[in-house]
């Protein structure tokens, strides 16, 4: 029986429509989102100065841009109202819901401070604050230790297969979510595990 729900943020409860285009436009045709993304990803555990790393990347590519501007653009995201309505319904039926997300410090702080997720979830766990990131199984085990829950009664949902596999390696139930189908696929997964909503 599932007694706890962990959800990824990007691609599950928040949408990044237009993010890639915003980043590409700032990179002035000298690089793309996909070129810069691995640099941004290195900041997920909070052990790398992502602002400096991105500035080095921009300078190497000859892009006249401050990394702070690029990081501001990276903060763009849209909470999915249908997904959060589903989350609210799950919690109303007594199942606690937590967000478990990989974020570098700039974007992580912005999400925590501006999006009001505390109204919808029981907690928000952000990789840069934990010093661990998905798909490392220790990321999930650390969260469960903090909230006093067991892996075998916890369901994790993410739109990246590697993260799903990491959660399974930690002993959680975990399922891949098709981000293109929105809250409909999220509801399907919850139904398959008997999570009321």
Task: Quote the tokens at residue 164.
Answer: 């799903």
Residues 25 and 98 both lie in one domain: no
- List CB contacts of 186: < 8 A, sequence separation 6 or more: 12, 83, 86, 157, 177
Other Cβ atoms within 10 Å of 115 Cβ, number = 18
Q: Is the dihedral of CA 158, 81, 96, 133 positive or negative?
A: positive
pTM (2 decimals)?
Answer: 0.96
Query: What pLDDT is stored for residue 167 in this prediction?
Result: 98
Mean pLDDT over the full length of the chain: 96
Residues 70 and 133 both lie in one domain: no
89-139 pLDDT per residue, tens: 999 999 999 999 999 999 999 999 999 999 999 999 999 999 999 999 999
Domain-located, residue 92: yes
Q: Which of 74, 94, 118 is the last residue in one of the domains?
A: 74
- The CATH number of the domain holding residue 11 is 3.40.50.1000
List, in sequence order, every residue forming a beta bridge with 98; answer none if it has no partner: 6, 123
Residue ranges making up the domain that contains 127: 4-16+77-192
Domain count, the chain: 2
| Nearest to 86, CA basis, from 147, 157, 153 | 157
Domain-located, residue 197: no
5-14 pLDDT per residue, tens: 999 999 999 9
17: confidence class by pLDDT, cuts 50, 70, 90:
confident
Mean pLDDT, range 61-82, rounded to an integer: 96
């Amino acid at each position: 029986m599932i007694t706890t729900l962990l959800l990824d943020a990007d691609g599950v409860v928040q949408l990044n429509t237009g993010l890639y285009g915003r980043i590409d436009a700032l990179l002035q045709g000298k690089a793309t989102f996909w070129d810069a993304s691995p640099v941004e990803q290195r900041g997920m555990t909070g052990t790398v100065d992502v602002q400096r790393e991105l500035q080095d990347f921009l300078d190497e590519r000859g892009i006249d841009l401050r990394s702070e501007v690029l990081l501001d653009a990276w903060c763009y995201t849209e909470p999915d109202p249908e997904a959060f309505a589903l989350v609210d319904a799950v919690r109303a039926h007594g199942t606690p819901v937590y967000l478990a997300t990989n974020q570098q410090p700039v974007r992580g702080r912005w999400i925590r401070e501006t999006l009001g997720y505390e109204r919808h979830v029981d907690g928000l766990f952000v990789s840069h604050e934990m010093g661990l990131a998905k798909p490392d199984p220790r990321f999930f085990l650390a969260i469960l230790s903090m909230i006093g829950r067991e892996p075998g009664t916890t369901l994790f949902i993410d739109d990246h297969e590697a993260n799903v596999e990491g959660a399974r390696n930690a002993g959680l139930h975990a399922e891949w979510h098709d981000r293109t189908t929105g809250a409909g696929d999220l509801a399907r997964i919850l139904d398959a595990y008997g999570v009321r909503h």
